[in-house]
Amino acid sequence: MCLGIPAKILEVNVDGSALVDYMGVRWRVGTSLVEHVAPGDYVMVHAGEAIERVDLATGKEVLRMWEDILKAWT
Amino acid sequence: MGGHIKGVDLIDAYRDPGLASRLFECARMRSLTAAERLGRVPVIMDVCGTHTAVISSAGVRTALSGYVEFRSGPGCPVCVTSAGDVDLAVQMARIPGVCVTTFGDMMRVPGSSTSLQEETAQGARVKVVSSPSSAVAYASAHPDVEVVFLGVGFETTAPVVALSIAEAKSKRIPNYTVLCLHKLMPPVLDVLVREPGVTLDGLLLPGHVCSITGRAVFDFLAREYRMPSVVAGFEVVDVLMATCWILHMIAERSPKVANVYRRVVRETGNQKAKDVIDKYFRPIDSAWRGFGLIPRSGLQIKEKYLRFDAMHRFTPDLPDSTDKPECHCGDVLRGRIRPSDCTAFGTVCTPVKPLGPCMVSQEGACAAHFRYGA
Ligand code: SF4
């Protein structure tokens, strides 16, 4: 039930809602729980609301870190 | 932020089979050291229905069978909802003029004697919605109907439901109320890890609950109970990284509350969402299936917003509720038994004819074990 969908913001409306896309499916979500979103940003969507931003740079950094961990642990 | 990095590529990277197979190998190797130290196979518990589903559907359970035992705890909101709360929802749906709106998962969950789905056949009005905001829209379009939204779910869902109250208030929609049954994760984990007779070596912490609460509120797990814990996302790579790290902590005797889902979960979580929860709700003692009453583990609508509280508007009679004695969901949710240990599993209890909520919900432990093999 806590399912979150990592969706891309396509446009942000004046009323604060945003049009998002995930694998070609588009729908409107609320953005009042997240700060400054702009087209191109990724957000986690849950029950019709963006609940948090997805920080792509950190996501990549974690993967890089695990390359080193895997070398050390295997 | 992120600049040139493309989100789709990142999603793919967390689903990469090559990386996953190296992580599987790492988990097997780490598990041997952990098992040597424990004298048995390490037991890792997830506390999120989506984790339960991923561990089964992505083949993690099978691939690590004999190396790690995965169990599911009180992480599926539908499963932990007590029979009494389901009965209450049913009572609401029976009130003339009321339409209960709910996420689809709640429809088939059995209360003491009936479910919302069975009630619709008897004429009760129940409508499945995909978001609380669409329940508000439905109320606005049907001013003659009293729309009650079932507020079920953890910290992830609570702020979204709080926003629906804010929306109904600002749009002056008088016929929208919430039956607030929300539950909180830290108090139940505090009970779970202290349970006598439960074998538990590490916890996969629920990524989307943590996106709201933050990682740091779970530090007590390592500090007070020496329980290795890792906040994890929901792609196969996320789950495997967390598994490897937990096994490493067991082997090294160095419990921590770590976070491999930093792309979404910050140290202190989402302040805006926490503020909106605090504005509309306050903590209350709450009954959990399998655990009973846990102090301050649920949410109640604050005095100031009582007119949006369905309990206040309709004051239904509190039902006399009982769990079905032949269903052992309570023991499954507490990690005491595996789904297959229940005598009803796969015989009298199947997804087609479920006895308990753990077999109803797609995210329930029994349903996941049944579908993908125990
Ligand atoms: S198998 Fe069915 S009866 Fe047994 S614990 Fe699971 S849901 Fe309950």
Rg (CA), chain A: 15
At residue A30, what is the residue type? G
Question: To which H or E segment does residue B288 belong?
Answer: strand B281-288
Cβ(B349) – ligand 1 distance below 6 Å? yes
Cβ(B110) – ligand 1 distance below 6 Å? no
Mean pLDDT of B258-263: 97
- What pLDDT does residue B315 have? 83
Q: Which of A4, A43, A53, A69 is nearest to B270 (CA)?
A: A53
β-pair type (A49-54, B43-46): unpaired
A51/B7 touch (CB, cutoff 8 Å), yes or no: no
Backbone angles phi, psi at B325, to 5 degrees: -65, -30
- What pLDDT does residue B1 have? 43
- What pLDDT does residue A11 have? 95
C-alpha B361 – ligand 1 centre gap (Å): 11
Q: String of b and e for A22-33 (b: at least 16 CB within 10 Å)? A: beeeeeebbbbb
ipTM metric: 0.95
Rg (CA), chain B: 21
Mean pLDDT of B321-339: 87
Question: Tens digits of per-residue pLDDT, B117-147?
Answer: 999 998 899 999 999 999 999 999 999 999 9
Q: Which of B311, B68, B49, B81 is nearest to B201 (CA)?
A: B68
β-pair type (B146-151, B176-180): parallel
Per-residue confidence band for B327, with pLDDT thresholds at 50, 70 and 90 = confident
Return the DSSP state at A34: S
A62/B105 touch (CB, cutoff 8 Å), yes or no: no
Per-residue confidence band for B361, with pLDDT thresholds at 50, 70 and 90 = confident
C-alpha B371 – ligand 1 centre gap (Å): 13
Question: Tens digits of per-residue pLDDT, B79-122?
Answer: 999 989 999 999 999 999 999 999 988 998 888 888 999 999 98
Question: Tens digits of per-residue pLDDT, B26-48?
Answer: 999 999 999 999 999 999 999 99
With contacts defined as CB-CB under 8 Å, which chain A residues touch B160? 33, 46-49, 51
Mean pLDDT of B187-204: 93
The CATH architecture that domain B81-184+269-314 belongs to is 3-Layer(aba) Sandwich (3.40)
B152/A1 touch (CB, cutoff 8 Å), yes or no: yes
Residues 135-154 of B with CB under 8 A from A: 152-154
With H, G, I as helix, E, B as strand and everything else as coil, classify residue B204.
Answer: strand
With H, G, I as helix, E, B as strand and everything else as coil, classify residue B127.
Answer: strand
Kindly give the interhelix angle for B271-280 and B158-170, rounded to the nearest 10 degrees.
60
- What pLDDT does residue B2 have? 42
The CATH number for A5-73, chosen from 3.40.50.10490, 3.30.565.10, 2.30.30.140, 2.102.10.10, is: 2.30.30.140
Per-residue confidence band for A2, with pLDDT thresholds at 50, 70 and 90 = low
C-alpha B337 – ligand 1 centre gap (Å): 11
Tell me the CB-side half-sphere exposure of residue B258, using CA atoms within 13 A: 19
Judged against a pLDDT cut of 50, whether residue B70 lies above it is answered with: yes
For residue A68, count other CB atoms closer than 10 A to its CB.
Answer: 9
Measuring from atom 7 of ligand 1, which residue has the nearest CA?
B356
Judged against a pLDDT cut of 90, whether residue B278 lies above it is answered with: yes
Q: Does B160 touch chain A (CB under 8 A)?
A: yes
Helices (DSSP H) in B122-219: which residue ranges?
Answer: 132-141, 158-170, 185-192, 207-213
With H, G, I as helix, E, B as strand and everything else as coil, classify residue B108.
Answer: coil
Q: How far is B227 from chain A (nearest CA, A)?
A: 21
Per-residue confidence band for B150, with pLDDT thresholds at 50, 70 and 90 = very high
* B156, B169, B236, B268: best to mutate for the A interface, most A CBs within 10 A: B156
Domain borders along chain B are 81-184+269-314
Looking at per-residue pLDDT, the higher value among B369 and B299 belongs to B299
Lowest-confidence pick of B27-31, B65-69, B364-368: B364-368
With contacts defined as CB-CB under 8 Å, which chain B residues touch A31? none
Dist. CA B50–CA B157, nearest whole Å: 14
At residue B255, what is the residue type? P
In order of B174, B248, B329, B345, the CA distances from B341 in angstroms are 49, 29, 11, 7
* A1, A22, A34: best to mutate for the B interface, most B CBs within 10 A: A1
- What pLDDT does residue B210 have? 98
Mean pLDDT of B205-212: 97
Q: Which residues pair with B45 in a beta bridge?
A: B71, B203
Domain borders along chain A are 5-73
Tokens 């749009």 sit on residue = B171
Mean pLDDT of B236-265: 97
Q: How far is B80 from chain A (nearest CA, A)?
A: 12
Dist. CA A3–CA B239, nearest whole Å: 15
- Here the contacts of B290-293 (C-beta below 8 Å, separation 24 or greater) are B290/B74, B290/B80, B290/B329, B290/B330, B290/B331, B290/B332, B290/B333, B290/B334, B291/B74, B291/B80, B291/B188, B291/B191, B291/B192, B291/B330, B291/B333, B291/B334
Measuring from atom 1 of ligand 1, which residue has the nearest CA?
B345
Mean pLDDT of A21-32: 93
Q: Which of B54, B264, B235, B242 is nearest to A59 (CA)?
A: B264
